[in-house]
Amino acid sequence: MIIGIWLLALILLLLWSAFAWMVHALLGMLAGAPWEQLLSQLKGISPPEPFGQWWTFTVDLLAPALQLSLPILQGLLSFAGGALPVILIVLWVIGGVLLLLLAAAATFAAVLWRKKRTGMNAQRPRY
C-alpha cells in the first residue's frame, strides 16, 4: 500500500510538473505574439486523429473571445514582467511540496492502520 501511495504521488508530481511547463510555455507564447501569429500557431497544432476536428472547431469557436481578451492578457503579462517565471516556479514548488506532504500523511495513516490491524489480530485468541 505504501508503494502504491508513493507511486501515485510520483505520477501526480510528474503531471503537476508537465502542467507547470505547459502554463509557462503558453504564457510565454501569449506574452508578445500578435493576434495573427498566435491564431496561426493555434491552428497549426495538430492533435492525434480523434481530437483533430474537435481542436479546429474549438479554435474557430473561441477565436473571437481570444481576440477580445488577448490585449488584456498581454497587458497583465507585461505588468508581471520578468517576475512571471519566478512566480510560476514558486507555485510549482508549493504544489510539489503539498503533494509530497499529502503522500507522507497517507503513508503515516497507512502505517498506523496496519499497526492497529496487526495489534487487533495479535490480541484475538486462537482456537
Q: Which residue segment(s) compose the domain that 106 sits in?
A: 2-41+52-120
Return d(Cα 66, Cα 103) in angstroms, integer: 38
Instruction: Please provide the DSSP assignment of 45-81 as one string.
Output: ----HHHHHHHHHHHHHHHHHHHHHHHHHHHHHHHHT
In a domain, 24, yes or no: yes
70 near 39, Cβ under 8 Å?
Answer: no
- Reported pTM: 0.61
Return d(Cα 13, Cα 19) in angstroms, integer: 10
pLDDT in tens, 66-100: 778 777 777 777 776 677 778 888 999 999 999 99
In a domain, 125, yes or no: no
In a domain, 32, yes or no: yes
In a domain, 46, yes or no: no
Contacts of 29 (CB under 8 A, 6+ apart): 38, 41
Residue 34's SS3 state is: coil
54: left (phi over 0), alpha (psi -120 to 50) or beta: alpha
Return d(Cα 110, Cα 2) in angstroms, integer: 7
In a domain, 84, yes or no: yes
In a domain, 47, yes or no: no
In a domain, 79, yes or no: yes
pLDDT at 27: 74
Has residue 125 got a pLDDT over 70? no
How many domains does the chain divide into? 1
